[in-house]
């Protein structure tokens, strides 16, 4: 007996009404007779039931809250009337401890703050500190940092895809995509020696140059990863269940998204083409050839599409980057910030003094302040550092993209069903380590 | 008849010649063997370690090989609390309540430096080791531990379970900290143990 | 089927002859091109603009504290500025105890691709109060709450200024202030005792408990505590 695969054409959608009379995007599907019909007929209006509102608590320990987020929901039947989020269950005082550490010593903390994107955070912090020190990094270092940032974007979005699928009920893509993630991990491990918490950069350079064979691994990854991605894409993008569970949920218009300070894929899904890499470029991103994905409706499905595209675009950058990788030093030739090589530190008086001063006192930036933002997988990640001329910052501020994105969740879930809250929450791609810091 | 020789304690003996379907073993061994190989972990993932925990559960490292494929997200149906990640003071009452909700027998793995000792977060917000809140069976060092390290910790826990005795009621004794017991750490000692290390809490050389 | 979709492209107001933005190189410590908003602000709010500086390529405008809301609103609504995106709200306290606390707003103009830093100074000894800009940028809701939680700066006009990261009954003070020790004011055992003394199941705020039936579902002991006016926050 032939089985028919039920697929939807997501390009063809019509405007319908949900049960509460609000406009909604409804996908069109081909039914068994070959006719194109709206996917679900609007359900008949439910009779108004007597009853009070109900209070439901989700979290802080709940698998669908991606950590320790807590949501208190006021429900009318199954519909969310109000959502009160509670955060801070993972507040670890990053910003306070940054005031007690030298600039290079802070880099390990940046690993642990948005721990899905450690190499990207290292790069962002190093860029901020270098602005504060007034250092121009070498060309080779720039390209290496681009490779690190884009690999980090891939592993972060891989976790998002895996957990998003689990939240909605699809387990298989999680297993597929985590296998690919392990490949990136082994590349990072060969580069710097750590899987997750990389501490990849230093102020003025990198912790290590790429090892032999790294570019071949990278090429191999760039060749094979799109295939796995295409499998996930084939499994999800036009899957009727997937589309039915994601379309029309948590929509934010372009104006709202800007006003609520959303950034990254959340903002782009709402139809605002703003990417820090394009609009406030760093690391010569303007010379790479890549596109940014923009959604239309700003709903959960559009965020999914935008992030899927953002899994493909880094591959384009990763294909270009090793081709232009110049020879030459990785670290700047400035012993105010970069430790001299160990052999020289033990044989050369001047190098030894530099070594001693750096280890004992730490590099000192001039008085000033710098805010440097990068495009992290979650959005605009900014590091704001204020120096008073000592070796430790007066203030180290993290601008957390998912903190601001999550702040809009009461608006996004209002009027949706309880089960949709999980999908909307998963679509924000939150990392509690970054939100609570 | 006389007494038959006592079978080796940790071996299930089967008489291959016999037509009877019976085995001899020790009850402790049988129960522990069953417990150790079907642990239901409750992942209490808060931070970075939770990501490595997910990696352990995913395709490459596959925790299911150790009888742990059934993640229990409800503490009421779990055997092992795997605390993966840092625990701030705001979360302290939550993890204690989760521990209290788990039925006996239960064990706890403290995954990572932060859960075990506060790790690099020696500041106002973070609990300096979850063993000040709940009892811990296995500490897995690392920041974060690699999946292999977690799996090794789980195997150590299985070893520990295999050595337990059902008759030993003290293993399942749940008491609020009793100032007269040996396990009780008085506040003075907690403060002494958690003294800052080196000059890590000074902002500048002048100590401000 | 539907109207053609046009994304809002950042930089669309710059006009056709605009340059593609490039990575800044050799940014000078002081000086360099000033953000045009600074001159416009001087013209518009002459008395309220105290000082303008360019540090490491970022233009900082120090403005009168009371005027912040009006300035941010003007910056958003004026067609030649259009600072429609508020990146960040934070504060800086210096190690020099005489020096004023600075409240910092990082604004972006997406249509013009510009970045501006606004600052308001709160001299020592004065009440830590600044106007909220929540009515202009909804995104600053949690940022202002965090700033209050960490520094104790009150944002006047914010609808719901509660602690956000620390719990509501946190007794030790405001963690990011310089007089706050890294390990907190209390000893470790006291911190642990206070944290564990909280009842994780009584952690609804008053607002949440007022929702419909919830009150009747509470244990009798909690109902009694609530009726005597005790605050059962987080």
CB contact under 8 A, C189 and B190: yes
Who among B96, B125, B191 is closest to C187 (CB)? B191
- Give the confidence band of B202 by pLDDT, cuts at 50, 70, 90: low
- Measured between CA atoms, the residue of chain A closest to residue C24 is A282
Considering chain A, what percentage of its residues have pLDDT values greater than 70? 89
Residue A6: pLDDT over 50: no
Distance (Å, rounded) from C-alpha B146 to C-alpha A194?
9
Decide: A390 and A368 in contact? Cβ < 8 Å: no
Residue A327: pLDDT over 80: yes
Question: Which residue has better confidence, B67 or C201?
Answer: B67
Q: Domain-by-domain residue ranges, chain B?
A: 41-165
Which residue in B134, B130, B150 sits closest to B142, CA to CA? B150
Question: Which residue has better confidence, C121 or C19?
Answer: C121
What number does CATH give the domain B41-165? 3.40.50.12280
Spatial CB neighbours of A75, under 8 Å, sequence gap ≥ 6: A53, A54, A55, A56, A81, A418
User: Which residues on chain C are in Cβ contact (under 8 Å) with B133?
Assistant: 192, 196
Decide: A143 and A288 in contact? Cβ < 8 Å: no
Who among A63, A99, A115 is closest to B48 (CB)? A115
- Closest Cα in chain B, distance from residue A258 (Å): 29
By the CB < 8 Å criterion, does B50 face chain A? yes
Residues 67-96 on B with a CB inside 8 Å of A are 71, 73, 75, 85-86, 88, 90-91, 94
- Measured between CA atoms, the residue of chain C closest to residue A387 is C94
Asked, as a colleague might, if the bond just before A431 is cis with ω within 30 of 0, I would say: no
CB contact under 8 A, C200 and B128: no
Decide: A225 and A312 in contact? Cβ < 8 Å: no
Residues 64-93 on B with a CB inside 8 Å of C are 89-90, 92-93
CB contact under 8 A, B58 and A390: no
CB contact under 8 A, C195 and B94: no
The pLDDT score that the predictor gives to residue A245 is 85
- Measured between CA atoms, the residue of chain C closest to residue B88 is C195
Distance (Å, rounded) from C-alpha B30 to C-alpha A129?
60
The pLDDT score that the predictor gives to residue A16 is 58
Residue A30: pLDDT over 90: no
How much is the average pLDDT of C117-132? 91
Task: Count residue pairs from A and C with Cβ separation < 8 A.
Answer: 175
Two tokens, residue C81: 């500025």
Quote the mean pLDDT of chain A: 85
Residue C82: pLDDT over 50: yes
The pLDDT score that the predictor gives to residue C21 is 84
- Closest Cα in chain C, distance from residue A343 (Å): 31
pTM confidence score: 0.87
Decide: C149 and C172 in contact? Cβ < 8 Å: no
How much is the average pLDDT of A357-385? 89
How much is the average pLDDT of A171-192? 90
CB contact under 8 A, C180 and B194: no
Who among C20, C90, C163 is closest to A397 (CB)? C90
CB contact under 8 A, C188 and B191: yes
The pLDDT score that the predictor gives to residue B1 is 44
Distance (Å, rounded) from C-alpha B164 to C-alpha C103?
59
Residue A153: pLDDT over 90: yes
How much is the average pLDDT of A396-410? 91
CB contact under 8 A, B51 and A159: yes
- Give the confidence band of C33 by pLDDT, cuts at 50, 70, 90: confident
CB contact under 8 A, A100 and C205: no
Spatial CB neighbours of B178, under 8 Å, sequence gap ≥ 6: B184
Distance (Å, rounded) from C-alpha C111 to C-alpha A192?
40
User: Which residues on chain A are in Cβ contact (under 8 Å) with C8?
Assistant: 254, 258, 271-274
Decide: A401 and A275 in contact? Cβ < 8 Å: no
Per-residue pLDDT tens digits for B77-117: 888 999 988 899 988 888 888 888 888 888 999 999 989 88
Residue A45: pLDDT over 90: no
Residue C16: pLDDT over 80: no
Distance (Å, rounded) from C-alpha A310 to C-alpha A322?
19
- Measured between CA atoms, the residue of chain C closest to residue B185 is C189
The pLDDT score that the predictor gives to residue C37 is 87
Number of residues that make up chain B: 208
Residue C234: pLDDT over 60: no
Quote the mean pLDDT of chain C: 83
> Degrees (nearest 5) of the Cα angle A245, A248, A250?
95
Half-sphere exposure of C72 (CA within 13 A, CB side): 30
Residue A4: pLDDT over 50: no
Q: Mutation test of the interface with chain C: which of B90, B133, B206, choosing the one with the most C Cβ atoms within 10 A?
A: B90
The pLDDT score that the predictor gives to residue C203 is 59
User: Which residues on chain C are in Cβ contact (under 8 Å) with B125?
Assistant: 166, 175, 184
Spatial CB neighbours of A389, under 8 Å, sequence gap ≥ 6: A364, A365, A366, A367
Per-residue pLDDT tens digits for C151-186: 999 999 888 888 888 887 788 889 998 888 888 888
User: Read out DSSP for B170-187?
Assistant: GGG------TTSTT---H
Who among C1, C87, C94 is closest to A380 (CB)? C87
CB contact under 8 A, A261 and C139: yes
Two tokens, residue B197: 């290390």
How much is the average pLDDT of A78-89? 87
CB contact under 8 A, C195 and B188: no
The pLDDT score that the predictor gives to residue B206 is 44
- Give the confidence band of B201 by pLDDT, cuts at 50, 70, 90: low
CB contact under 8 A, C166 and B127: no
User: Which residues on chain B are in Cβ contact (under 8 Å) with C200?
Assistant: 93-94, 97
CB contact under 8 A, A93 and B91: no
Looking at 3.10.20.70, 2.130.10.10, 3.40.50.170, 3.30.460.80, the CATH number of the domain C29-165 comes to 3.30.460.80
Distance (Å, rounded) from C-alpha A151 to C-alpha A155?
6
Distance (Å, rounded) from C-alpha A10 to C-alpha A302?
11
The pLDDT score that the predictor gives to residue A235 is 87
Q: Could you tell me if residue A329 is left (phi over 0), alpha (psi between -120 and 50 degrees) or otherwise beta? A: beta
Residues 106-165 on B with a CB inside 8 Å of C are 122-125, 127-128, 132-133
Residue A400: pLDDT over 50: yes
Residue C219: pLDDT over 70: no
CB contact under 8 A, A54 and C167: no
- Closest Cα in chain A, distance from residue B55 (Å): 7
User: Which residues on chain C are in Cβ contact (under 8 Å) with A260?
Assistant: 138-139
CB contact under 8 A, B201 and C183: yes
Please tell me which chains touch C, using 3 or more CB pairs under 8 Å as the contact test: A, B
Decide: B147 and A181 in contact? Cβ < 8 Å: no
Distance (Å, rounded) from C-alpha A290 to C-alpha A189?
27
- Give the confidence band of C118 by pLDDT, cuts at 50, 70, 90: very high
- Give the confidence band of B8 by pLDDT, cuts at 50, 70, 90: low
Two tokens, residue A368: 């000033």
Residue A36: pLDDT over 80: no
The pLDDT score that the predictor gives to residue A156 is 92
Question: Which residue has better confidence, B23 or C76?
Answer: C76
Distances (CA, A) of A414 to A74, A358, B49, B90, B101: 10, 54, 33, 27, 32
How much is the average pLDDT of A325-348? 86
What number does CATH give the domain A97-436? 1.10.645.10
CB contact under 8 A, B90 and C180: no
Residues of chain A with CATH 1.10.645.10: 97-436
Strands C58-63 and C49-55: antiparallel
The ipTM value here is 0.85
How much is the average pLDDT of B157-170? 84
- Measured between CA atoms, the residue of chain B closest to residue A435 is B47
Residue A312: pLDDT over 50: yes
Q: Give backbone dihedrals phi and psi of A379, rounded to 5 degrees, phi first.
A: 150, -150
The pLDDT score that the predictor gives to residue A42 is 47
CB contact under 8 A, A84 and C85: no
> Degrees (nearest 5) of the Cα angle A218, A220, A225?
95
Count of Cβ atoms closer than 10 Å to residue A220 Cβ? 13
- Give the confidence band of C132 by pLDDT, cuts at 50, 70, 90: very high
CB contact under 8 A, B123 and A88: no
Of A112-116, B83-87, B182-186, least confident by mean pLDDT is B182-186
CB contact under 8 A, C117 and A260: no
CB burial of B144-168 (b: ≥16 within 10 Å; e: otherwise) equals bbbbebbbebbeebbeebeebeeee
Which residue in A110, A67, A72, A111 sits closest to A89, CA to CA? A67
Who among B88, B94, B124 is closest to A61 (CB)? B94
Task: Count residue pairs from A and B with Cβ separation < 8 A.
Answer: 103
Of A224-228, A344-348, C208-212, least confident by mean pLDDT is C208-212
Residue C2: pLDDT over 60: no
- Give the confidence band of C215 by pLDDT, cuts at 50, 70, 90: low
- Give the confidence band of C216 by pLDDT, cuts at 50, 70, 90: low
């Amino acid at each position: 007996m032939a089985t028919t695969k039920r697929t939807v054409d997501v390009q063809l959608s019509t405007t319908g009404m949900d049960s509460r009379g609000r406009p909604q995007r409804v996908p069109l599907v081909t039914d068994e007779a070959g006719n194109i019909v709206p996917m679900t007929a609007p359900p008949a209006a439910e009779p108004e039931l007597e009853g009070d509102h109900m209070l439901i608590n989700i979290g802080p320990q709940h698998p669908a809250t991606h950590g320790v987020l807590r949501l208190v929901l006021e429900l009318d039947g199954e519909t969310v009337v109000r959502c009160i989020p509670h955060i801070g269950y993972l507040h670890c005082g990053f910003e306070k401890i940054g005031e007690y550490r030298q600039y290079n010593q802070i880099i390990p903390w940046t690993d642990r703050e948005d721990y899905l994107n450690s190499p990207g955070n290292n790069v962002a912090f190093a860029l901020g500190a270098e602005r504060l020190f007034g250092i121009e990094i070498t060309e080779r270092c720039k390209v290496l940092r681009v490779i690190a940032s884009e690999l980090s974007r891939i592993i972060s979005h891989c976790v998002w895809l895996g957990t998003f699928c689990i939240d909605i009920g699809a387990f298989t893509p999680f297993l597929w995509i985590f296998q690919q993630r392990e490949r990136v991990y082994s590349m990072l491990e060969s580069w710097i020696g750590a899987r997750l918490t990389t501490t990849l950069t230093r102020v003025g350079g990198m912790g290590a140059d790429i090892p032999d064979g790294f570019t071949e691994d990278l090429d191999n990854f760039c060749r094979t990863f799109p295939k796995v991605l295409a499998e996930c894409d084939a499994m999800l993008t036009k899957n009727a269940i997937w589309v039915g569970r994601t379309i029309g949920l948590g929509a934010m218009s372009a104006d709202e998204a800007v006003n609520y300070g959303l950034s990254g894929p959340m903002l782009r899904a709402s139809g605002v083409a703003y990417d820090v890499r394009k609009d406030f470029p760093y690391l010569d991103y303007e010379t790479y050839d890549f596109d940014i994905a923009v959604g239309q409706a700003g709903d959960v499905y559009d965020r999914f599409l935008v992030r899927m595209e953002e899994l493909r675009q880094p591959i384009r950058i990763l294909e270009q980057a090793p081709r232009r990788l110049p020879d030459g030093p990785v670290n700047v030739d400035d012993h105010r910030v970069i430790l001299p090589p160990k052999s020289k530190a033990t044989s050369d008086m001047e190098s030894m003094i530099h070594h001693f001063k750096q280890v004992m006192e730490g590099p000192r930036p001039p008085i000033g302040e710098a805010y440097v933002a990068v495009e992290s997988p979650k959005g605009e990640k900014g590091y704001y550092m204020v120096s008073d001329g000592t070796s430790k910052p007066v203030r180290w501020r993290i601008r957390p993209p998912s903190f601001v994105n999550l702040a809009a969740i009461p608006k996004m879930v209002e009027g949706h069903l309880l089960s949709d809250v999980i999908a909307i929450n998963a679509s924000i791609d939150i990392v509690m380590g970054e939100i609570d810091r | 008849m006389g007494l038959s020789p006592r079978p080796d304690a940790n071996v299930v003996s089967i008489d291959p010649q016999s037509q009877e379907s019976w085995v001899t073993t020790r009850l402790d061994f049988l129960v522990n063997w069953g417990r150790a190989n079907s642990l239901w972990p409750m992942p209490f993932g808060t931070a970075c370690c939770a990501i490595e925990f997910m990696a352990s559960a995913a395709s490459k490292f596959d925790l299911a090989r150790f009888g742990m494929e059934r993640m229990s997200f409800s503490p009421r149906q779990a055997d092992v609390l795997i605390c993966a990640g840092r625990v701030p003071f705001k979360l302290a009452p939550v993890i204690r309540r989760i521990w209290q909700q788990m039925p006996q027998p239960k064990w706890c793995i403290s995954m990572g430096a932060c859960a075990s000792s506060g790790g690099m977060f020696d500041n106002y917000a973070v609990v300096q080791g979850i063993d000040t809140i709940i009892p811990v069976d296995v500490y897995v060092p690392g920041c974060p531990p690699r999946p292999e390290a977690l799996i090794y910790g789980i195997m150590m826990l299985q070893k520990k379970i295999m050595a337990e005795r059902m008759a030993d009621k003290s293993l399942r004794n749940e008491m609020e900290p009793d100032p007269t017991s040996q396990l009780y750490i008085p506040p003075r000692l907690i403060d002494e143990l958690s003294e800052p290390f080196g000059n890590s809490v000074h902002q500048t050389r002048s100590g401000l | 089927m539907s109207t053609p979709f046009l994304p809002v492209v950042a930089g669309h107001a710059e006009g056709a002859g605009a340059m593609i933005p490039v990575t800044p190189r050799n940014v000078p410590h002081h000086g360099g091109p000033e953000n045009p908003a600074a001159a416009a602000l001087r013209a518009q709010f002459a008395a309220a603009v105290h000082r303008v500086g360019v540090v490491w390529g970022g233009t900082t405008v120090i403005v009168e504290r009371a005027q912040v809301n009006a300035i941010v609103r003007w910056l958003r609504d004026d067609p030649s500025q259009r600072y429609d995106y508020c990146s960040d709200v934070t504060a800086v306290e210096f190690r020099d105890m005489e020096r004023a606390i600075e409240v910092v707003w990082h604004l972006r103009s997406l249509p013009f691709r510009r970045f501006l830093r606004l600052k308001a100074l709160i001299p020592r000894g004065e009440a830590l109060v600044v106007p909220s800009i929540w009515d202009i940028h909804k995104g600053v809701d949690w940022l202002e709450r965090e700033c209050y939680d960490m520094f104790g700066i009150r944002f006047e006009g914010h609808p719901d200024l509660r602690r956000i990261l620390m719990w509501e009954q946190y007794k030790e003070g405001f963690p990011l202030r310089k007089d706050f020790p890294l390990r907190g004011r209390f000893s470790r055992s006291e911190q642990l005792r206070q944290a564990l003394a909280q009842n994780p199941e009584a952690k609804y705020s008053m607002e949440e408990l007022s929702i419909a039936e919830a009150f009747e579902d509470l244990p009798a002991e909690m109902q009694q505590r609530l009726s005597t006016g005790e605050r059962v926050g987080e």
